[in-house]
Amino acid sequence: MNGPVSLDVLLSREVCRLLDSFAAILKTQVIFYAAGGEILKRGRDCSVSAFCSCVQEKYFSLETCQKLDREMQEFTRRTGRIRSYRCHAGLTEIIAPIRVLDEIAGFVGLGQFRTSDDIPEFIRSDDEMIRRYFELPCFTEQEAASMEDMLNTLIEYIVNKELVSFPGNLRYRRLICYIDRNLACELTLGQAAKHLNISASGLEHFLHDKYGTSFRRLVIQLRLQRAEELWRAAPDTPVREIASAVGIEDAHYFSRLYHKERGISPREFKDRL
């Protein structure tokens, strides 16, 4: 594959439109973060709320808020799960990881809203801050949980529709990743096509037109490559064990296939190591 997946590129217009619509409907802050935590896009290109700006000036620094954001991003990176949390200002925020090809490619944050009318202790003597606090949108706990579901759905849509530009072709990389994970199993064109949300004929045309290969030949090449990787790590491993590890139970068939594709026998390859 072509290096780690990253969202450190221009987001498509459709993604930006989705974020803007999502933020406008909920009247909240929606933010797209890169894998390293840098802000790529804010819904409606809005800055932080007046309440949060004042909190950062008078009570907590911007660095304090950013540190908490990074900690929550790291939690979702480790667990792969969406996370709701209460920030220093007493507001609820949600952070969700964007996973592509089993890697964290970025995050989507949703925040600066209330889930309670309880005034934070640190502003109870500040009438101006109290006014700004109650200007923020307020949702019940149940509504906040529904927002999590909506955010997950938005992320799934963006990833499945390949609406973000990545290095290389995302569909091809997802296919390679799928085959790699399932090399020891029976692999069919139909199963792979279903995984990619495409028809079997569409996948075959895609591979032929873009890469000059077929699904069957791609699987064969990846199986042989994996076999060679296993032999490099353990040259004395018998052919039948390597063949089984890459999804071919007939060792004789594997040897014939290897010789046909590589021009040498598995034994010759092992002798050359």
User: 8 pLDDT exceeds 50?
Assistant: no
Supply the DSSP string of 112-134, one letter for each residue. Answer: EEBS--PPPGGGTT-HHHHHHHH
Distance CA 51, CA 69 (A): 17
Provide, rounded to the nearest whole percent, the portion of the chain with pLDDT above 90: 61
Per domain, the residue ranges of the chain are: 13-160, 170-272
Domain 13-160 = CATH 1.10.287: no
Three-state SS across 185-198? Answer: CCCCHHHHHHHCCC
* Average pLDDT over every residue of 59-65: 89
User: 215 pLDDT exceeds 60?
Assistant: yes
CATH of span 170-272:
1.10.10.60
pLDDT for res 9: 45
Q: Which residue has the higher pLDDT, 17 or 189?
A: 189
- Residue 270 amino acid letter: K
Look at residues 228, 200, 194 and name the one whose alpha carbon lies nearest to residue 214: 200
Q: How many Cβ atoms sit within 10 Å of the Cβ of residue 166?
A: 19
At residue 220, φ and ψ (nearest 5 deg) are: -60, -50
Distance CA 8, CA 165 (A): 9
Distance CA 234, CA 221 (A): 20
Average confidence score pLDDT of the chain: 88
Most confident of 92-101, 111-120, 162-171: 111-120
- Give per-residue pLDDT as tens, 232-247: 999 999 999 999 999 9
Contact between residue 97 and residue 104 where contact means Cβ atoms under 8 Å apart: yes
- Give per-residue pLDDT as tens, 117-176: 999 999 999 999 999 999 999 999 999 999 999 888 888 888 777 776 555 577 888 899
